[in-house]
Chains A and B, each alone.
Chain A
Amino acid sequence: MTKNAYDFNNLNPSATVIRRLDPLVIEKPRAPIHIHTYGGETRFFKGLAEGRLWGTYCDNLDCDPSGREAYIHLPPRIYCPDCLEKMEWQDITDVARETARIHTHITVLNPGAFNRVAIPCQLVSIEIEGVATVLMSQLMGAEPEIGMPVEPVFNTSNPTFTILDLAWKPR
């Protein structure tokens, strides 16, 4: 991994770049690195690198609304949003392979800075049987359509350990 060439902890004041003299406009460079934890969601992001899709569900029988047909949360949640009991993990890779469909989709042509997905990027929202939520993700190698059956593709060879390790292709 390459680092920036100059040390941001020791900026040289004489290196100030002036953009404009009146009004006086100067550059203020920085490139801080954040150390970010996935905490309790670690299983999800490690799972992508292992080719598995993990959701969570609430097994508290007193949770209201309970007995729902679609009960799995994807993105996973550590605590149930209704009763705040800790949720259980469930591997939903196979059901995603069999039932996932595109709920909605768009094409991103002009991404923001620091974007790492290939442009144009097909952004899709994915509905899966038994899942109460609609995951945002990316589609590979096809023109998306609402209702299109899709299956997950995992980046297991050189994982980024981000949501970009998951994509979908037509089924």
Chain B
Amino acid sequence: MIKFTERNLAPPKQMRPVYVVAAGHSDFRKRYPEKKTEELCVEAFRMLALENDLKISGIQELKGYIHSAFYGHFADHFGDQLLGEALIHDRLGLDPLGNVGIKTGGATGGSTVWMAANAVASGYSDCVLALGWERMDEVDTWTGNHYISTAADKDFETELGHIYTGYYALMAQRYWKTFGKSSDAFRRTMSKIAVKNRGYACSNPFAQGAARLTVEDVERSPIVADPLRFYDCCLMSVGASALLLCDEKTAYRLSDDPIRLFIAAGSHTLRTADRRHMDIPLLPAELDNTDVKRHYMDLYGDGETEPYPGFTGFLAARIAAHYAYNMCGIYDPMEDLDLVELHDAFTISDIQTYEDIGLRPYGSGPDYIESGDAYLINPNTGEPGRLPSNLTGGLIGCMHAVGATGIMQVGEIMWQLQNKWAKFHAPEELWERFGKEKPADFEDLQVQGARRGLAISHAGVGSHVTCSILMRPEALIKK
């Protein structure tokens, strides 16, 4: 479909407010033979139940509130377990509650939160568990890459190298040549993202990819699919993450500090080949900006020079943001938000997403990094960055245990808005729990006074994207 009606793009509605009140993760590792998937899921749930200051006497009381469960697990062939949701549900002791497994590739976690939120918003359930996991260590990395490549069109894409990074890199190369002008400066911006996200992971006890890198380290790392190098790519992970969603009454019964959640989803063709030129769906601030509209005419025109979204943008991300912003009243995300967690599957897709969700106009994504806006502390000025991104380390620095990723992002944003980042990242006991030593250069990554945050969960080469927006209840925009 390349033509939309107003009905297609109507702002999504929640029939009643949805809150998130608690989150928990396992730690994340490339290989985790010490624990079964079930153990990791139970550990994430135990953290959710016991460490979020919930007003309950213990796990059994909390289980007395849960009404339905939504499980995110993408790859049955990786985990070698069909109907894993039934197995995990049993290990959590949540029978006979209704539950469902959700899978939308890399966006599985986000989609799981989406479905869980809709269950609360519709009135079906007052209290819902969203829990996701992935086990990617039963096969070697190259078989893993083959497995991931089967999430491309198996007849028209997978045969061509069995490597998803390659299918992404085709977009990257086009974006780089079109908007980056193949320049060294653009390459450096990509490297800075890897350095930033790996660096933030150093203060995250859950993270798998902590490293103090330099731009040179990134640019010397092996090429996976040109222009993407090893450090441009996300991690392959084992781990689990959990989130508790409630209606207003239950939220305040369980927590003194519940956070509002809005979430919407978009999609686009699985094959990049099929992306036909269309008009750009404009975000609220762009609608009022004649300069941006003129710029887009110059950039794309009638699609003769460069098709939109073509190989340079992710329509699914644009549509998800379009729905979510109009749903909750975000006008300019740079002004209205305090932090974001983006789906940095690759450094270049991270840059493309800045444009899709309106942090910068199309063609200007690198400026979000170069201006210093994307950092907790702007490296150019030493002042707080305008909109810090991926303080967890993201997919490049923290993890990409696919079914857990989008859930982890929302949980981490919630902790930031609850001013609880330190509680879940600083204690030495937490580092020791995961067999790690708290690093000497540990940094406090709490965004001071954070009131609103956003998380993007993204699948395929942009096949599914969810956009979650979290707000402190006193900081709602649309009353």
Contacts and interface: CB of A to CB of B under 8 A. Distances in A.
Interface in A114-141: 114-117, 121, 123-125, 132-138
Interface string B300-339: 0000000000110000000000000000000000000000
A31 B453 CA distance: 46
Contact of A103 (B3, B34, B271, B311): B311
A75 interface: yes
Contact of A136 (B80, B148, B273): B273
B253 to A, nearest CB: 40
Interface string B1-22: 1110000000000000000000
Interface residues of B, number: 51
Nearest to B147: A112
Contacts of B223: 107, 109
B171 A65 contact: no
A114 B146 contact: yes
A121 B174 contact: no
A108 B155 contact: no
B66 interface: no
B276 interface: yes
A104 interface: yes
A133 B273 contact: yes
A82 interface: yes
Contacts of A134: 272-273, 275, 310-311
A136 B1 contact: no
B274 A114 contact: no
Interface in A127-164: 132-138, 146, 162-164
Interface string B130-157: 0000000010101111111100011111
Given A74-B273, A75-B273, A110 B162 contact: no
Contacts of B202: none
B30 to A, nearest CB: 15
B161 A112 contact: yes
Contacts of A124: 170
A64 B3 contact: yes
B177 A107 contact: no
B149 A105 contact: no
A72 to B, nearest CB: 11
Nearest to B35: A23
A55 to B, nearest CB: 11
B77 to A, nearest CB: 10
B167 interface: yes
B445 interface: no
Given A23-B34, A41-B155, A117-B161, A65 B166 contact: no
A169 to B, nearest CB: 16
Given A38-B155, A82-B1, A107 B160 contact: no
Given A28-B80, A103-B311, A113-B142, A108 B33 contact: no
Interface centre among A81, A106, A125 (most CB of B within 10 A): A106
Given A121-B161, A134-B272, A135-B273, A81 B1 contact: yes
15 contacts: A20-B33, A75-B155, A82-B1, A104-B170, A104-B311, A106-B227, A108-B161, A109-B223, A110-B142, A110-B224, A123-B161, A134-B272, A135-B156, A136-B156, A162-B155
